[in-house]
Structure 1
Amino acid sequence: MIRQFGRQQISAMMLTTAAMLAFAGPASASTVATTLPAIFPTPVSMTSGQGTITLGRSVVLVAAPGTDPATTALVRTILTSAGVETIATARRVPAAPDRPHIVIGGSDSALVRDALALGKAVPDTQAEGYTIASVAIGDSGVITLAGHDADGLFHAAQTFRQLVKRAAVPALVIRDHPAMPIRGTIEGFYGAPWTMTDRTRHLDFLGSMKANTYVYSPKDDPFARDRWREAYPAATLSSLGTLVATARRNHIDFVYAVSPGPSICFSDPADAQSLERKFEALRSIGVRSFYVALDDIEYAKWNCDKDKAAFGASGPEAAGVAQARLLNAVQTYLLAEDPNSRPLIMVPTEYYDAKETPYKAALRKHLDPRVVVQWTGTDVVPPAISIPDAKAATKAFGRKTLLWDNYPVNDYATTTGRLLLAPYAKREAGLSGELTGILSNPMNQEAPSRPAVAGVIAFAWNDTGYDAERTWHAAAADLADGDPRATDALLTFFDTQHMAPTFGSQPWQEQAPQLKATLDSVREAIAGEDASARATAIAELAERADAFAGAPDVIRSGTVDPGFAAQSRPWLDAMQLWGRALQLTAAGLDAANTGSAAATRYFAEASRLAAQAAAIQSTPGATRFGGPIKIADGVLDRFVADAPTLFAAQR
């Protein structure tokens, strides 16, 4: 890929390098500097010590009594993946370890506290918190993973997974815990739901990112919406049970959501019993958290005459009262079944903005304060969310809300033909003080959702330490399994899908900013009088076009997550054709610059390929709205169309 060494480009290169440190494979010991690594999500605190610890081929694992066996097994897997061949066990740490000792367990264990003391580390005391202390001792050392609770120890293991991808682990102390108690995704989109395989992979991804919540709420699951009163087929229930077990293994709270709003009779005891039966069936496969979705329904009329008799004439206020009564009954039922159950979650019919309305006032007055309310921000797809916005929502609903962030979901008309791959941005640091958490609504395409979802989770973990660009680069490196060439190819592709639409006419993130900067510089050079600068700009464009055209093959080569390549297939097909069109456009500009008659032929062929690329359609049925694939639209297509006139305009 061509590099232009301006300030912005150098900054981008530095960010890519920083991301690589977290995800790239081991280098030789002689090349590893004793610097602090890049960890994602960004820890609350990370301080360096003296020296490094090289794992080598043999380590000793010291697990404190009562340590979760599954997390112990995970640490073993991480060590094996890092090249460790022999993992011995011991009950304590010797005064002079002859090889690296890895101590794991709860921070309430004396063994773990003594190990932390070697690095003068104090245990983190927050829910889901953890502490990692690595101390170099002679030619060896001790690395301690201490969890405040079982979730915290699991999160410590995920950070350890990143640490050991360096050839040597630096002496350091990490104290870390999440800023928001709820972090994850809600499969809440319209169109083709994810497959069970997609969900399994997504739960593994969520676990690796220290998320803790997944809400099962696909709009097109008939047994969760249109046919919500009916029992799931045995095979489907069994598959969901397997998914629940996967979530538990990843320390993810599997939340089952039902959407009875289109047909429920709020005052009918039979419908309340139908909800309870539905939840009992899910409880039988291990689900312990539940959700009632009342979004995208009509509240100007009742579904039954009983509701008119019970609540009066239909309308927003009456709907709020009826919904609150039902939800309160469900919350009471859940507590009766399990006093330790998590609070019920609901999404209201008025789920966006924070304007005072009769509906919101009714919910605020009548809804059990234990029930968690979701809110999508200032709009269905908000261009930004500020602390004052969240404070207004807290006031409107009478409690801190759980943000349902409709990014990167692509199930609405203005997303037709798009993947949404821009960084997660324009959410104000400090929102953790006014939200109970954030759930991202992802795309129909699971693996391509991860770059944005990684940002959502990283922001929810540490909003004040969140860096959108660095997290975005790290997500690309993770998808590329640390391969630098594949990471660059992914970032080139991400740039073509950078636009983030809203329900309005103006997107909240711009399209293809990196490519646009390159093409704008070519336009400026051609319009200028410096012949040397003009030739250089065209030559650099040709190099950029080669990288652009080659990126799809790199992404498909097997290094990048295969699910990403498969689910992005039509976009990669279109990108390759657009890349060839850009190559021919660069050749045409070069010919025009030297006065060659071949320019016309190059431009004509570029136009033909551009038309062919623009005709590629999205996968039928994959998304709610199908249509032509968009690749850097408004940037690349305009440049290819304008290129034949750039020289004509100055002669």
Structure 2
Amino acid sequence: MSRICPTPQEVVESATSTPIPSVVAVINGPDTDPAARRVLEATLRGAGAEVRHVRARDVVPNEHLLVYLGGPAENPTTARILQRLNVKGPEDLPAEGYVLASGRAGDRSVVTLAGADPTGTYYAAHTFRQLLDGTDRLPSIAIRDWPRLSVRGAIEGFYGSPWSDEDRADQLAFYGAHKLNTYQYSPKDDPYLRERWRDPYPDTELAQLASLVAQARDHHVTFTYALSPGLSVCYSSNDDLAALVAKFEQLYAIGVRSFNVPLDDISYTDWNCAADEERFGTGGGAAGTAQAYLLNRVVEAFVAQHDDVSPLQLFGHRIMLWDNYPVNDYQRGRLALAPYTGRQPRLADQLVGVVANPMNQAAASKLGLYSVADYAWNPERFDPQQSWQDSLDEYAKGDENVSTALRMFCDTQHWLETITGVDAPELAAAIEAFWPAWLAKDDAAITTFERHVVAFAAAPDVLKGGLEPAFATETRPWLTTMTVWGEAMATCLDLLRAHRESDAQAVRTLTTRLDTLVSRARSEVDPNDPSVPVKVADGVADRFVRDVLTAVR
């Protein structure tokens, strides 16, 4: 069976499978989710099948696969088919749960994709897509699945260049495909959201947001508008309350129904107006009182006035975790490409949900968000290392060479795991094994390390040709630097040989070349802060170069 992400809760699979026939008949209900239909149709056509939509009472040839799409409220016929497959339906599952069952019903092959609600059916369609990824055979399988956390997603809450609208559209499609149901719009550098929060959005910017709201809806993702007034708000001001409500009303008019007021990255001891100190006093407790006062008034003046607006996030219910992973705005010069570790399964008992704060680099952020989706859906079965490798494999579209190159590149950006004391653990392990081999003149082990260095230097070109163009564009300075460090390490090997052979001229020539390569490796800068050089395998590749230079002097 192909890897399904997020990991399902319950899977029963038999050893049998059937080929996808040339014609598949799909039976929808009157209220079957349109987005689920689109996903299913694209999946079947991708498997080489012609899709025909039929009615439950139509006569369909036995050689055609029958697919019933929609849960009980969408397609009443699915219940009967699930009974024939001896699979329990989705009626007792929580919101967004689903049942996917395939097998033989009498003398024909059938598939049922039934959600507890339309979002569940949409998720069932995406699970079906993953089942058929890279194969033209359908396993006999029964999946009952549901989310452990009800809120799962990402918050665009970083500093620096916000994502483009193209980035956001791509992210929303990714979220839907991986059962992430929330996107919080809160880029710190949107002036109308933070610095000039009182000003209404101009028509052009508002139209762009309206388009994103609609796209989110198409992928069953809740678009949350998270306003950040904390830099200048006067908590006791009626005018500021009116401005905040007016901003929310402007977003409500374009279809936003979920709101947040994150009061993060602000002072808790300095007031923005004298009236607040007079009303609330001083100190952290006073700040908390002021914030609660404002949020209560927002609930009364805005949320309570609309029956279809969700409760204000973070307000009045279980905690939602804003997880600063894989965000990198506090470590310029680095990407955050490491497994999602340190989150325990029982967190789910205390949280309503998790929203991850990604990097400025949207495409590269998908690697980490894959594991966030995996964890938030089923934390009890979450394996950080396995999920990380699965994310690399999926992003590489199953190409083993690309996946290997991607893992090697990500290894150079493991600074999230610096608690282990190693920035690039796999490269560091290879170097550690090399030195004893070099001293012992172990040719086989030396050759193994040489191949590692050659692959290291070649990895960026493999990724440029094997991944989506956005990844190469975002990570260009890091890919360039990785190539140069790879060339520097290869030069180090030549230098060691020249030294062992007492070739003084070659030592001088190679040392000069190495100095040039090191300078080049340190010349690339972070596009979000040109004063900061990018770091690749920091403290590992450069240390190897230093150690080699020390050894030949």
TM-score range, shorter chain: over 0.9
Counterpart mapping for 1:34-433 below 5 A: 36-91=1-56, 97-108=62-73, 109-124=75-90, 125-136=93-104, 141-165=109-133, 166-311=135-280, 313-346=281-314, 371=315, 400-412=318-330, 415-433=331-349
Aligned CA distance change for structure 1 residues 168 and 93 (closer, same or farther; 3 Å): farther
- The equivalent position to 1:436 in structure 2, one of 330, 338, 352, is 352
Q: Deviations over 1:321-342 (max 9, x none)?
A: 1211211121233443322421
- The equivalent position to 2:379 in structure 1, one of 443, 450, 463, is 463
1:517 aligned to 2:517? Answer: no
CA–CA distance in structure 2, aligned partners of residues 516 and 315 of structure 1: 47
Name the structure 2 match of 1:535. Answer: 443
Answer whether contact 2:41 2:51 (CA < 8 A) is retained: no
Name the structure 2 match of 1:637. Answer: 542
Answer whether contact 2:6 2:178 (CA < 8 A) is retained: yes
CA–CA distance in structure 2, aligned partners of residues 252 and 62 of structure 1: 25
Name the structure 1 match of 2:456. Answer: 548
Aligned CA distance change for structure 1 residues 643 and 309 (closer, same or farther; 3 Å): closer
Name the structure 2 match of 1:583. Answer: 490
Give 1:526's aligned amino acid.
Answer: W
CA–CA distance in structure 2, aligned partners of residues 64 and 594 of structure 1: 78
Answer whether contact 1:53 1:136 (CA < 8 A) is retained: no
Report deviation, 1:520.
Answer: 0.9
TM-score by length of 1: 0.80
Give 1:556's aligned amino acid.
Answer: K
Report deviation, 1:81.
Answer: 2.1
Answer whether contact 1:499 1:509 (CA < 8 A) is retained: no
SS at match of 1:254: strand
Q: Deviations over 1:421-466 (max 9, x none)?
A: 0011111122111111111111111111111121112111111111
CA–CA distance in structure 1, aligned partners of residues 210 and 76 of structure 2: 37
CA–CA distance in structure 2, aligned partners of residues 42 and 179 of structure 1: 11
CA–CA distance in structure 1, aligned partners of residues 508 and 89 of structure 2: 70
CA–CA distance in structure 2, aligned partners of residues 487 and 542 of structure 1: 20
Report deviation, 1:547.
Answer: 1.1
- The equivalent position to 2:521 in structure 1, one of 613, 622, 640, is 613
Q: Which runs of 4+ in 1 moved over 6 A?
A: 93-96
Answer whether contact 2:84 2:105 (CA < 8 A) is retained: no
Aligned CA distance change for structure 1 residues 576 and 95 (closer, same or farther; 3 Å): same
Answer whether contact 2:28 2:53 (CA < 8 A) is retained: no
Q: Deviations over 1:60-119 (max 9, x none)?
A: 111123111232122112212222234343325979832211111014544111222233
Name the structure 2 match of 1:493. Answer: 409
Answer whether contact 1:417 1:630 (CA < 8 A) is retained: yes
Give 1:403's aligned amino acid.
Answer: L
Answer whether contact 1:103 1:112 (CA < 8 A) is retained: yes
Answer whether contact 1:288 1:341 (CA < 8 A) is retained: yes
Answer whether contact 1:180 1:461 (CA < 8 A) is retained: yes
Give 1:614's aligned amino acid.
Answer: R
Aligned CA distance change for structure 1 residues 541 and 450 (closer, same or farther; 3 Å): same
CA–CA distance in structure 1, aligned partners of residues 552 and 169 of structure 2: 54
SS at match of 1:500: helix
Name the structure 2 match of 1:481. Answer: 397
CA–CA distance in structure 2, aligned partners of residues 286 and 203 of structure 1: 16
Aligned CA distance change for structure 1 residues 626 and 453 (closer, same or farther; 3 Å): farther
1:571 aligned to 2:478? Answer: yes
CA–CA distance in structure 2, aligned partners of residues 587 and 57 of structure 1: 58
SS at match of 2:188: coil
CA–CA distance in structure 2, aligned partners of residues 89 and 454 of structure 1: 36
Answer whether contact 1:93 1:101 (CA < 8 A) is retained: no
CA–CA distance in structure 1, aligned partners of residues 109 and 337 of structure 2: 41
Give 2:416's aligned amino acid.
Answer: A
Give 1:64's aligned amino acid.
Answer: G
CA–CA distance in structure 2, aligned partners of residues 470 and 167 of structure 1: 25
Aligned CA distance change for structure 1 residues 132 and 188 (closer, same or farther; 3 Å): same
Q: For this pair of structures, how many residues does the alignment match? A: 548
Report deviation, 1:509.
Answer: 7.7
Answer whether contact 2:81 2:105 (CA < 8 A) is retained: no
CA–CA distance in structure 2, aligned partners of residues 68 and 206 of structure 1: 17
Answer whether contact 2:195 2:229 (CA < 8 A) is retained: yes
CA–CA distance in structure 2, aligned partners of residues 545 and 439 of structure 1: 38
CA–CA distance in structure 2, aligned partners of residues 463 and 644 of structure 1: 47
- In terms of mean alpha carbon deviation, does 476-485 or 160-169 score higher? 476-485
CA–CA distance in structure 1, aligned partners of residues 531 and 124 of structure 2: 42
SS at match of 1:556: helix
CA–CA distance in structure 2, aligned partners of residues 607 and 143 of structure 1: 63
Report deviation, 1:281.
Answer: 0.5
CA–CA distance in structure 1, aligned partners of residues 509 and 526 of structure 2: 30
Q: Deviations over 1:142-181 (max 9, x none)?
A: 1211100111111111111111112312111111111111
SS at match of 2:183: strand
Name the structure 2 match of 1:352. Answer: none
CA–CA distance in structure 1, aligned partners of residues 5 and 550 of structure 2: 46
Name the structure 2 match of 1:7. Answer: none
Answer whether contact 2:160 2:189 (CA < 8 A) is retained: yes
SS at match of 2:385: helix
Counterpart mapping for 1:21-40 below 5 A: 36-40=1-5
CA–CA distance in structure 2, aligned partners of residues 470 and 181 of structure 1: 23
Aligned CA distance change for structure 1 residues 92 and 409 (closer, same or farther; 3 Å): farther
SS at match of 2:212: helix
CA–CA distance in structure 1, aligned partners of residues 18 and 531 of structure 2: 53
- In terms of mean alpha carbon deviation, does 432-441 or 106-115 score higher? 106-115
Answer whether contact 1:54 1:167 (CA < 8 A) is retained: yes
CA–CA distance in structure 1, aligned partners of residues 488 and 480 of structure 2: 13
CA–CA distance in structure 2, aligned partners of residues 55 and 308 of structure 1: 70
CA–CA distance in structure 1, aligned partners of residues 544 and 421 of structure 2: 20
Answer whether contact 1:291 1:344 (CA < 8 A) is retained: yes
Q: Deviations over 1:591-613 (max 9, x none)?
A: 55566654564454234312211
Answer whether contact 1:422 1:509 (CA < 8 A) is retained: no
Q: What is the CA RMSD across the aligned residues, in angstroms?
A: 2.2
CA–CA distance in structure 2, aligned partners of residues 487 and 577 of structure 1: 21
